[in-house]
Amino acid sequence: MTKDTLNNVDDLKDLKKVAINLFEENRLYKSENKVLQEQVKSLQDRLFGRKTEKIPKDDGQLSLFDIPEPDIVLLQEPEETIVASHSRKKKGRKPLPANLPRKEVIHDLSDEEKQCQCGKTKSCIGQETSEQLDYIPAKVQVIRNIRYKYACKNCEGVDDDGPTVSIARMPDQIIPKSMATPGLLAHLLTAKFADALPLYRQEKQFARIGIELHRSTMSKWAIKVAAACEIILDMMEQDIKKSPVINIDETTVKVLKEQGRSKSYMWVFKGAPRGKPIILFQYHPSRSGDVVASFLKNYKGIVQTDGYAGYNFLDTITNIIHVACWTHARRKFVEVTKAAGRNKKTSGGNAGTALKYISKLYKIEKDAKAQELSIDELYTQRQSKALPILEEFKQWLDATVEKAPPKSLLGKAINYTLNQWHRLILYTTSGLVTPDNNAVENAIRPFVIGRKNWLFACTPEGARASATIYSIIETAKANGLEPYWYLKHLLEHLPEAMTEDDFRALLPHQIIKEQILNPLN
């Protein structure tokens, strides 16, 4: 073999190595480009797409997708199509509530119009009635407290023990020496914390009816009311720890004068001792798990959270069963299908398989609710029906995780589910807990809506006061109470409460609904 031939062979080997390297680089670039495109589509969907997590009906073409499905047969269930009988509803608006006051306005013919062409007067043979809804602007009044003084004219109002002048006692006020009545305070707090109406907007509303009421004054009132209600909040915290299940979540809140921090947190705890829901908000500058550890000290029961790492320590506490949330796991697979869009030849198909498994789990819950199963019956149903689906789903996840790129949305969704698996399956061990943490996420939503309007809290003191008032209002709502009338009742009677029984009678989850004076009832 000549020297030129050897050189040619070496050149070919070098070219082959270069070609292999280029091929590998091209494969990596394609894989990375696919992940980046998926992320872009996911971000676009978050910004501009539909917020619903409902998935359109599948067309059944799972075999068309890039990543092959593992050889696992999905559980088959016979499908029945039931067409329920129905009757057509009469169209038209609903009648106005019967408890609203009525004002009758009579519309009659004039004397001339009552005359018939024959010369006789027409007789009334009936009437037609229709109702319209009217609105009367808020009625504001000033309460003048007049206290009569009495003195003895015989001794001219003075004896050996001092003046003998007597004056009628003013009822105790929630804010002493304030011009604000319980009715006004209840209105301000309901408007801000239940209806998400910031104080500066309320200030403008009062100005339109000629009342100068500055937002700083209203803010101080809110803080003083919250301080007066601390004993109510302490009792609510004592009661919530008697609940067999506590749901926990947290969200951000901006506090302007919180030193050294640009982001703080509002924590929410939800329980239902004896079937009476309690929702507690707590402000903390930190997202540390120490907040939860402090709250749950000596607690025994089930704690349900999302996958935030700050909750991981709960797995090590002997008396606590730490349950994860299936909604969070499902949400990540939903993101995969949304990023896939109409392009069915993507990992969105595999996400569709995961969603089918999760849908079967929720179908069991839906059927149990329709059948009104007891706690023990629900536990039995989960053991017999949900566990086989979970076992099969786990096999599918283990088989698919090896084929999905770890950085892809599908890879992240599968890894999240597998990492949380030991907590996700624990809901089947009791009939007391639900598969997801939606209860507390729904409880925290009013705060999130309000935050979009008032944007921030000025001081930590104000944030803590907000947590107190949100706790009272949301617990009242959860127990079927109208927040304004409950707050008015609470603020009227709280200053008079002396014993523990007095305070307990005012708790939003203990109060007798009929005691609250609501003229619209």
pLDDT (mean) for 455-465: 88
pLDDT (mean) for 153-176: 76
Alpha carbons 241 and 269: distance in angstroms, whole number: 10
What is the per-residue burial (b if ≥16 Cβ within 10 Å, else e) of 178-211? eebbbbbbbbbbbbbbbebbebeebbeebeeeee
Minimal CA–CA distance to 243: which of 275, 286, 210?
A: 275
Give the CA-trace dihedral at 192, 194, 195, 201, to 10 degrees.
0
SS (H, E, C) 86-123: CCCCCCCCCCCCCCCCCCCCCCCCCCCCCECCCCCECC
pLDDT of residue 137: 79
pLDDT above 70 for 130: yes
Minimal CA–CA distance to 224: which of 182, 171, 278?
A: 182
Alpha carbons 456 and 470: distance in angstroms, whole number: 15
The strands making up 264-271's β-sheet, listed across from edge to edge, are 278-284, 264-271, 245-253, 301-304, 320-323
Q: Which residues contact 469 (CB under 8 A, 6 or more apart)?
A: 189, 193, 222, 225, 226, 229
pLDDT of residue 73: 47
pLDDT above 70 for 515: yes
Minimal CA–CA distance to 316: which of 303, 329, 328?
A: 303
pLDDT above 70 for 135: yes
Minimal CA–CA distance to 250: which of 277, 226, 283?
A: 283
Distance set, CA 74 to CA 70, 80, 359, 388, 503 (Å): 11, 18, 12, 11, 56
Structure tokens at 101: 């006051």
Q: Name the residue with tokens 């959860």.
A: 478
Q: Are strands 320-323 and 301-304 parallel, antiparallel or unpaired?
A: parallel
Mean pLDDT of the chain: 84
pLDDT above 70 for 349: no
Binning pLDDT at 50, 70 and 90, where does residue 63 land? Answer: very low
pLDDT above 60 for 6: no
Q: Using an 8 Å Cβ cutoff, are 508 and 481 in contact? A: yes
pLDDT digits (tens, 9 = 90+) for 401-458: 888 888 888 889 999 999 999 999 999 999 999 999 999 999 999 999 888 888 788 8
The distance from CA 402 to its chain's CA centroid, rounded to whole angstroms, is 36
Give the CA-trace dihedral at 367, 370, 374, 379, to 10 degrees.
10
pLDDT of residue 72: 47
pLDDT above 60 for 49: no
pLDDT of residue 424: 95
What's the chain's Rg over C-alpha atoms? 33
Q: Where are the alpha helices (DSSP H) in 270-374?
A: 290-295, 326-340, 348-370
Structure-model confidence comparison of residues 455 and 382, the more confident one: 382
pLDDT of residue 11: 61
Structure tokens at 317: 């506490």
Q: Which residues contact 206 (CB under 8 A, 6 or more apart)?
A: 212, 213
Binning pLDDT at 50, 70 and 90, where does residue 291 land? Answer: very high
| Max mean pLDDT range (8-22, 107-121, 210-224, 257-271) | 210-224
| Max mean pLDDT range (3-12, 85-94, 150-159, 473-482) | 473-482
pLDDT above 80 for 30: no
pLDDT of residue 512: 86
pLDDT of residue 257: 80
pLDDT of residue 337: 85
The proportion of the chain whose per-residue pLDDT surpasses 90, expressed as a percent, equals 50
pLDDT of residue 87: 62
pLDDT (mean) for 201-205: 94
pLDDT above 90 for 95: no
pLDDT of residue 152: 79
pLDDT (mean) for 201-206: 93
Q: Which residues contact 215 (CB under 8 A, 6 or more apart)?
A: 199, 200, 202, 203
pLDDT of residue 60: 47
pLDDT of residue 160: 61
pLDDT (mean) for 176-191: 93
Binning pLDDT at 50, 70 and 90, where does residue 67 land? Answer: very low
pLDDT of residue 472: 97
Q: Which residues contact 314 (CB under 8 A, 6 or more apart)?
A: 292, 296, 303, 305, 320, 322
CA angle 237, 238, 241 (to 5 degrees): 85
pLDDT of residue 167: 87
Domain range annotation of the chain: 174-320+445-521, 326-436
pLDDT (mean) for 210-222: 93
pLDDT of residue 66: 40
Distance set, CA 13 to CA 1, 3, 24, 86 (Å): 17, 16, 17, 78
Binning pLDDT at 50, 70 and 90, where does residue 92 land? Answer: low
Structure tokens at 503: 């305070």
pLDDT of residue 452: 83
